[in-house]
Structure 1
Amino acid sequence: MRVFVDQIKCTGHGVCEELAPDAFLIEDDGIARVLIAEVHGATLAEVQAACAQCPTQAITLAEPDPSSSAENA
């Protein structure tokens, strides 16, 4: 799964960084950044929890676009 943070919605509460520290980092500007584009296994479970608990619903998960991986192969 791919993870995205809506930079406009994010207000830097830090829930994502607390729940999934391998996937998110709150930068100096107070906005969350995604550290890994695709998540799997235990990290996916952490990101799903962060997505569910994000106060501003700024985190989304999506299936990878198969056409983009074919282009990069």
Structure 2
Amino acid sequence: MPITNKRYNRIKIVLLELEKTNNWLAEQLGVSATAVSKWCTNKNQPTVEMLFRIADTLKVGVCELLNTNL
């Protein structure tokens, strides 16, 4: 049985919609590009506080960053 990665967040999708890059988001937040990459691939999840900072930086609601189809 193949292992599937659950998509807990939509950060990557929102970045694509806004035509922003992982590196841009990392610079805006003062975090490493590796951290953003792991959030975008759902290998790690940002803290709730960081999720609010991401939403604020991207000018979207926090709910837009969360996948509700689990």
When normalised by structure 2's length, the TM-score is 0.41
When normalised by structure 1's length, the TM-score is 0.40
Larger helix fraction of residues: 2
Larger strand fraction of residues: 1
Larger radius of gyration: 1
